[in-house]
Structure 1
Amino acid sequence: MPSSVAPPGWPAGVRAPDVERWEQTAEAWLLDQCPPEYRGYPALRKHVVVLARFALLHVEAMQAACRRGLSETRGALRGVAPHDVVDAAIEVWLSEDARLSRVRREVGLVEEALRGTRFRARL
């Protein structure tokens, strides 16, 4: 039975916890989830668990913006875009909300692992 297990929902680009260099792959992946400016902050580069917290809050903020966009689309675009365009915009918001939900889970799992949680294989 392997000692390093990645749980369901673990990001594909990050090695399982405790595998050699897993934290480096986590850092690179987390930076990809953040605004590019975050790469310039030494505190985030030196402390990957801090980076994980920043990434989590960033993704949650994007989720909130997405949900706001979804709730306001029909009213905000009424009279300025045809119904089929508004419907297409709503589909984009729904797709983005689903993507962000997945990313939120992935970032949360990486943060848990960086804080010391280890996952076990389930039968």
Structure 2
Amino acid sequence: MSRPYAPPGWPSPVRPPDTERWEGTAESWLLDVCPPEYRTYPTLRRHVLVLARFAVLHVEAMQAACRRGLSEARAELRDVASPDVVDAAVDTWLTEDARLSAVRREVGLVEDALRGTRHRPRL
């Protein structure tokens, strides 16, 4: 049997697939990624793969909102903020977009692992 392996981009709070209690750490982390209300839904608490799918869609929606904010920032803010504040807002959107891209990769890797996909280290 091969050793447990977490591929590049795997979230650090989640144990590698096939280790003891890895799905429990995945559930905990996925709940942290999602809105707090998701903790109140019994289906999401009982079915970690369903939770993972919800998390993927939630992160993708946040990415879409971030990209919309970025595309509209200059036009929407130019009359209410100084140019340096608008530039700072754009920089913030760019930073958040990069963060969300990393989270989307992490959530996708966890979802794939819950579906049975296993990665192997490359030499």
TM-score range, shorter chain: over 0.9
Question: 1:12: which partner in 2?
Answer: 12
Matches within 5 A, 1:46-61: 46-61=46-61
**1:52 shift after superposition:** 0.1
Deviations 1:43-84 (A, max 9, x none): 000000000000000000000000000000000011210000
Question: 1:22: which partner in 2?
Answer: 22
CA RMSD of aligned residues (A): 1.0
Deviations 1:18-39 (A, max 9, x none): 0000000000000000000000
Question: 2:121: which partner in 1?
Answer: 121
> Structure 2: which 5+ residue stretches go unaligned?
none
The AA in structure 1 aligned to 2:98 is: A
Question: 2:44: which partner in 1?
Answer: 44
Stretches of 4+ aligned residues off by more than 2 angstroms: none
The alignment's TM-score, normalised by the length of structure 2, stands at: 0.98
Matches within 5 A, 1:87-98: 87-98=87-98
Aligned pair count? 123
The alignment's TM-score, normalised by the length of structure 1, stands at: 0.98
Question: 1:99: which partner in 2?
Answer: 99
The AA in structure 1 aligned to 2:87 is: D
SS at match of 2:65: helix
Partner Cα distance (1:2, 1:32) in 2: 30
The AA in structure 1 aligned to 2:85 is: V
Partner Cα distance (1:17, 1:111) in 2: 11
Partner Cα distance (1:83, 1:47) in 2: 48
> Structure 1: which 5+ residue stretches go unaligned?
none
Partner Cα distance (2:36, 2:79) in 1: 36
Identity of aligned residues (%): 76
SS at match of 2:16: coil
**1:2 shift after superposition:** 4.9
Question: 2:83: which partner in 1?
Answer: 83
**1:119 shift after superposition:** 1.1
